[in-house]
C-alpha cells in the first residue's frame, strides 16, 4: 500500500515548507510586535496634545492638523473589542504616560472609513468623554494587511521550495524511469545535464550491475541455444531410426511411443529457443497489431464460437517487434485453449499511453497466490499438470512484456478469466526503448 508521504520529493517539500512557515511566523510575530510598538509610540506622541485639548473642551493647538471628534457617548455602530491588540495597549499606555487617561476603546465604521474611539477622563470631576480620531495604522485592517503580505510572501517561499525540491529530485526521477525500462542509467543524458556526485555514483553502480546481468543473460542464452541446437541432431536420428522399424504390430507401439517422446522433446527445445529469442535484442519496425492478432487466431483453425478476435481494422505500432508480439499472442491464446475453457476471446486495443493485448476465457482461472509464480519459467499450476506442456508459455509472455517495457496482468475468476499484456506507448505510438 502506498503511503502518503513516502516519496523523497514530498518529504523534502514538506520539510522546507514547514521550515518556511515556522521562520515566517516567528519573523512576522517579532516584526509586527516591534512595528506596532513603534507606530503606537509615534501615534501617542502626535495625538496626545490634541486629545488632551479635546478632552478639556479647549481649542486645538494652533496649526494642528489632527482633527478630533468629541462626543458624550460612543456612536451606536461602534464595537468594543473583547481583547485589545498589543498596538492598542501600547498606544493607551503611551497616552497615559503623556497625561491622557484613556479608558475603553471602540471602533466604528468599516474599511478605510474606520474610526478609533477613545474614552478619555478629563479629570477635575468632569465626566469622561468619547474622542474619535482617524488613525488607520491603529485599526484592525492595518494588521490584516501586514499578515496578508506575510502570507503571500510565505506562499512565494513555499513555491520556491517546491521548485527547489523538484530540481533536487529530478535526477532521481530520471534514474527511476531508466531503471524501470532497463536502460543504462547514464545513457542519453541531455546536453548540459549535470548530476550530483551521489547520483553519479548510483548511476555508475547500476550500470555495472546492468552490465553483469547482461553478460550473465548472454551466457545463459548462448548455453540454452547451444544445448537446444545440439540436441536436434540426435533427436532427428532417433526419429529416423524409429521410423525404420518394421511395420509389424509388435514394433508399431514402440515406434509410436518413441516418435511421441521425440516430438515432446522437440517441443521442449522449441520452447527453450522461444525463451532465448525473447531475451535477445528486439527489432524495431511498424507492426499492425490488429492484423497480427487475426493471423495468430486464424492459425489455430478453430470455430468462431470457440475462438474469436476483437480488433479494429488497423492498429499500427510505429516501432515494435513483430516476432516477439506474435509469440506472445500465440502463447496467450494457446494457454487459454489448453488450460481454460471456450469461448476464448482475443482483444487488442490501444489508447494514448499503452497498447493492450487481452485474452479472456471461461475457465477456472488462477488462484491469486499462484499468479506471480506461474509467470516464471517451468512453473505449472495444479490444474494444468495433467495437460501437456513445460511451464514456459506464460514465462515467454512475461519475458516479451518485460523486453518491450510492459507488464502482464491477471484478473477475474472462474467463468471470466483474463490475462493481458500492457505495453507503454509514446506520443508516436511507438514502444519505448
Residue 5: per-residue pLDDT? 55
Residue 195: per-residue pLDDT? 67
The pLDDT-based confidence of 431 (bands split at 50, 70, 90) is low
Nine cell digits for residue 103: 479608558
2-6, 14-18, 423-427: least confidently modelled range: 2-6
* Highest mean pLDDT, choosing among 32-46, 203-217, 283-297: 283-297
Residue 238: per-residue pLDDT? 83
| Rounded Cα–Cα distance for residues 90 and 171 (Å) | 54
122-144 per-position pLDDT tens digit: 877 778 888 888 876 666 555 56
What is the rounded average pLDDT of the residues 30-58?
78
388, pLDDT greater than 70: no
What is the rounded average pLDDT of the residues 337-358?
88
- 182-192 burial, b at 16+ Cβ within 10 Å, e below that, comes to ebebeeeeeee
Mean pLDDT score across all residues of the chain:
77
Nearest Cα neighbor of 328 from 263, 408, 405, 260 is: 408
Domains and CATH numbers, the chain: 8-144 (no CATH), 182-280 (1.10.287.130), 285-424 (3.30.565.10)
User: What percentage of residues in the chain have a pLDDT greater than 70?
Assistant: 77
Residue 193: per-residue pLDDT? 61
Nearest Cα neighbor of 36 from 163, 138, 123, 148 is: 138
One DSSP character per residue, 68-89 reads -EEESS--TT-B--SS--HHHH
Identify the three-state secondary structure at position 391: coil
| Rounded Cα–Cα distance for residues 274 and 259 (Å) | 22
CB 260 within 8 A of CB 243: no
Residue 1: per-residue pLDDT? 42
What is the rounded average pLDDT of the residues 230-256?
79
281-332 per-position pLDDT tens digit: 556 788 888 999 999 999 888 888 899 999 999 888 777 778 888 888 988 9
Higher pLDDT pick, 166 / 362? 362
User: What percentage of residues in the chain have a pLDDT greater than 90?
Assistant: 8
Nine cell digits for residue 315: 492498429
Evaluated on CA atoms 125, 130, 134, 137, the torsion sign reads: positive
The pLDDT-based confidence of 386 (bands split at 50, 70, 90) is very low
Residue 188: per-residue pLDDT? 53
Nearest Cα neighbor of 95 from 40, 56, 44 is: 44
401, pLDDT greater than 80: yes
Residue 18: per-residue pLDDT? 77
CB 368 within 8 A of CB 426: no
249, pLDDT greater than 80: no
What is the rounded average pLDDT of the residues 395-404?
82
Residue 292: per-residue pLDDT? 92
The pLDDT-based confidence of 387 (bands split at 50, 70, 90) is low
The pLDDT-based confidence of 379 (bands split at 50, 70, 90) is low
Amino acid at each position: 500500500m502506498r503511503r502518503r508521504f513516502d516519496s523523497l520529493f514530498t518529504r523534502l517539500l514538506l520539510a522546507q515548507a514547514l521550515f518556511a512557515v515556522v521562520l515566517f511566523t516567528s519573523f512576522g510575530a517579532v516584526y509586527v510586535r516591534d512595528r506596532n510598538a513603534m507606530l503606537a509610540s509615534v501615534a501617542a506622541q502626535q495625538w496626545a496634545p490634541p486629545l488632551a485639548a479635546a478632552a478639556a473642551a479647549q481649542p486645538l493647538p494652533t496649526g494642528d492638523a489632527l482633527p478630533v471628534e468629541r462626543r458624550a457617548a460612543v456612536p451606536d455602530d461602534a464595537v468594543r473589542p473583547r481583547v485589545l491588540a498589543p498596538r492598542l495597549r501600547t498606544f493607551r499606555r503611551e497616552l497615559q504616560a503623556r497625561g491622557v487617561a484613556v479608558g475603553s476603546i471602540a471602533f466604528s465604521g468599516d474599511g478605510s472609513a474606520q474610526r478609533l474611539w477613545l474614552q478619555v477622563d478629563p479629570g477635575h470631576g468632569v465626566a469622561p468623554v468619547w474622542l474619535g480620531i482617524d488613525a488607520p495604522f491603529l485599526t484592525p485592517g492595518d494588521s490584516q494587511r501586514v499578515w496578508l503580505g506575510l502570507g503571500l510572501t510565505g506562499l512565494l517561499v513555499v513555491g520556491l521550495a517546491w521548485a527547489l525540491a523538484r530540481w533536487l529530485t529530478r535526477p532521481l526521477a530520471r534514474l527511476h524511469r531508466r531503471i524501470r525500462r532497463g536502460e543504462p542509467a547514464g545513457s542519453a543524458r541531455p546536453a548540459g545535464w549535470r548530476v550530483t556526485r551521489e547520483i553519479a555514483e548510483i548511476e555508475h553502480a547500476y550500470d555495472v550491475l546492468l552490465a553483469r546481468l547482461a553478460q550473465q543473460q548472454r551466457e545463459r542464452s548462448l548455453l540454452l541455444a547451444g544445448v537446444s541446437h545440439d540436441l536436434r541432431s540426435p533427436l532427428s536420428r532417433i526419429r529416423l531410426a524409429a521410423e525404420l522399424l518394421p511395420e509389424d504390430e509388435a514394433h508399431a507401439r514402440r515406434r509410436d511411443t518413441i516418435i511421441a517422446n521425440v516430438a515432446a522433446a522437440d517441443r521442449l527445445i522449441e520452447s527453450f529457443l522461444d525463451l532465448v529469442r525473447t531475451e535477445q535484442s528486439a527489432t524495431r519496425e511498424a507492426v499492425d497489431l490488429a492484423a497480427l492478432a487475426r493471423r495468430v487466431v486464424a492459425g489455430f483453425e478453430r470455430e468462431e464460437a470457440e475462438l474469436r478476435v476483437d480488433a479494429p481494422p488497423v492498429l499500427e505500432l510505429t516501432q515494435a517487434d513483430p516476432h516477439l508480439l506474435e509469440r506472445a499472442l500465440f502463447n496467450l491464446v494457446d494457454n487459454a485453449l489448453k488450460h481454460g475453457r471456450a469461448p476464448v476471446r482475443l482483444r487488442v486495443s490501444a489508447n494514448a499511453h499503452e497498447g493492450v493485448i487481452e485474452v479472456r476465457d471461461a475457465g477456472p482461472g488462477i488462484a491469486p497466490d499462484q499468479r506471480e509464480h506461474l509467470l516464471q519459467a517451468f512453473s505449472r499450476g495444479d490444474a494444468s499438470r495433467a495437460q501437456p506442456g513445460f511451464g514456459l508459455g506464460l514465462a515467454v509472455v512475461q519475458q516479451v512484456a518485460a523486453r518491450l517495457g510492459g507488464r502482464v496482468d491477471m484478473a477475474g475468476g472462474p467463468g471470466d478469466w483474463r490475462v493481458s499484456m500492457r505495453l507503454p506507448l509514446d506520443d508516436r505510438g511507438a514502444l519505448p526503448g
